[in-house]
Structure 1
Amino acid sequence: MTNGALVLFSGGQDSTTCLAWALDRFESVETVGFDYGQRHIVELECRETIRQCLAREFPQWARRLGDDHTIRIDALNEISNTSLTRDVEIAMGNDGLPNTFVPGRNLIFLTFAAALAYRRGLKHIVCGMCETDYSGYPDCRDDTIKAMQLTLNLGMDRRFVLNTPLMWINKAETWDLARELGGDALVEIVRTETHTCYRGERGNLHDWGYGCGECPACELRAAGYEQWSAASSHEGVSR
């Protein structure tokens, strides 16, 4: 196995920042996206544009950016009854979780990603799970990721490393990480080319990017951008 990386790349803010993080660290980086019939499937359509923008704006990363893969997991849609896989209103469930939670999704993603990394000879798997400001999804927790790394390594007899660079930072800090990695150019790519909105809306470009502005994903992204922007302005004044 090489020290190359495979990035779980949905086309959203978090996974794009993770892709930049990986390109900054590893000599060879491939990407994988998953089509499970999600309502916001437009996110997958953003992926190639984002990859092209990164290669154009950051020549030092272009030579490191390898193949992209898309894996269809139709069965996940068939067995799920959530607002990401059905045309139902986003709401909180009786279990205290939002109905945007797709049970087993990240566990399935990581298993397929590891199988692909096995075939491609890649050691590092990079994913954007975060436990700091999330919706309470149990498969985003650090303990879950650590357990999955152990399980995958035992089950495939490999030494994969699951990297979660966003695990302990909030959305404002994620915007800051993007600027740290690629300056204003990367921030602008994240702002205008990525997609986070659960409803798949890309009609209006807000300060923080495209989206409905009302779903939990938009609210979290917008709040993070506002906090980061305010802090950045304050730093500029202080200097």
Structure 2
Amino acid sequence: MAAQTNPHSRALVLFSGGQDSATCLAWALQRFHHVETIGFDYGQRHRVELECRSHFRTRLIETEAFAPWRTRLHGDHLVDLSVFGAISDTAMTRDIQIETLANGLPNTFVPGRNLLFLTVAAALAYRRNLQVLVAGMCETDFSGYPDCRDDTVKALQVALNLGMDRRFVIETPLMWLDKAQTWQLAYTLGGPLLVDLVRRETHTCYLGERNTLHDWGYGCGECPSCALRKQGYTAFVTGLS
């Protein structure tokens, strides 16, 4: 688990408590000597993910197999963006049925969410002297969210660098991976122990269901996020056999 050489040694990971961002956190710990995390309370329906954030970080530090990462993992920052949730009439911020809208997007899309998250993260990184922002946006397995596209992230990187007069780098290690490959990445980074930690201690279910532990993790098993996670895990396990 030796850190790879990288000219940018300080990173801030956008860590929601979900599978993707947890994998990104491990990816960052493998590469950077100083890693901090940031999360956002935006009034999300599945706010149980906020509890998973601290549980995952604690387990990561306590697990002896990940000892080389302990000295690299530093502060965590939880930012209150509840006002954003108050103006977002979506299935992620309201107790309404998940469905596809007339524009072809699911109503789980929260307009501007990732744009705001990256902007706030950059503002914190500016103060903390962190050069790299690591985020779990993905254009391979996504629901058409326009703020998850590679072009969007690249454009925002340019805007942030111009607006703050800094040279931030936004890394999106999952951008071209499907969910099976994301599970595989976790396996490559930390073996079965990391896969099991992601399976048990992260949360992606849109409904916030954590009563049942499936092979692929906790969740309702029916929402689009659970279906994608289950499908990816099944393909990953099949590939190992």
TM-align CA RMSD: 1.0
Equivalent-residue separation in structure 1 for 2:158 and 2:86 (angstroms): 28
- Structure 1 stretches of 5 or more lacking a match? 234-239
TM superposition score normalised by structure 1: 0.96
Q: Secondary structure at the match of 2:38?
A: strand
* 1:175-211 residue CA offsets vs partner (Å, 9 max, x unmatched): 0000000000100000011000000000000000000
Residue of structure 2 in register with 1:154 after alignment: 162
Name the residue aligned to 1:15: 21
Q: Report how many residues are paired.
A: 233
Name the residue aligned to 2:3. Answer: none
- CA distance 1:230–1:2, change in 2 (3 Å): closer
| Separation in structure 1 between the aligned mates of residue 120 and residue 206 of structure 2, nearest angstrom | 23
Identity of aligned pairs, percent?
65
What is the alpha-carbon distance in structure 1 between the residues aligned to residue 226 and residue 159 of structure 2? 33
Q: Tell me, in whole angstroms, the C-alpha distance in 2 between the residues paired with 1:149 and 1:192.
A: 33
Query: Partner letter of residue 180 of structure 1?
Result: T
**Is the CA contact (8 Å cut-off) linking 1:2 and 1:121 kept in structure 2?**
no
- For residues 92-134 of structure 1, the C-alpha deviation after alignment (integer angstroms, 9 at most, x for no partner) is 0111000000000000000000000000000000000000011
Q: CA deviation at 1:53?
A: 1.1
**Secondary structure of the corresponding residue to residue 161 of structure 2:** helix
The reply on whether 1:55 has 2:61 as its aligned counterpart is yes
How far did residue 2 of structure 1 move? 6.2
Ranges in structure 2 where 5+ consecutive residues have no aligned partner: 1-6
Aligned amino acid, residue 154 of structure 1 = L
Cα separation, 2, equivalents of 1:90 and 1:36: 18
Give 2:48's match in structure 1, choosing from 42, 45, 70: 42
Cα displacement (A) at 1:166:
0.1
Deviation at 1:52, TM superposition (A): 1.1
Contact 2:140 2:176 in 1 (8 A): yes
Is 1:192–1:210's contact at 8 Å kept on the other side of the alignment?
A: yes
**2:195 paired with 1:187:** yes
Displacement after TM superposition at 1:45 (Å): 0.5
Determine if contact 2:8/2:32 at 8 Å carries over to the other structure.
Answer: no
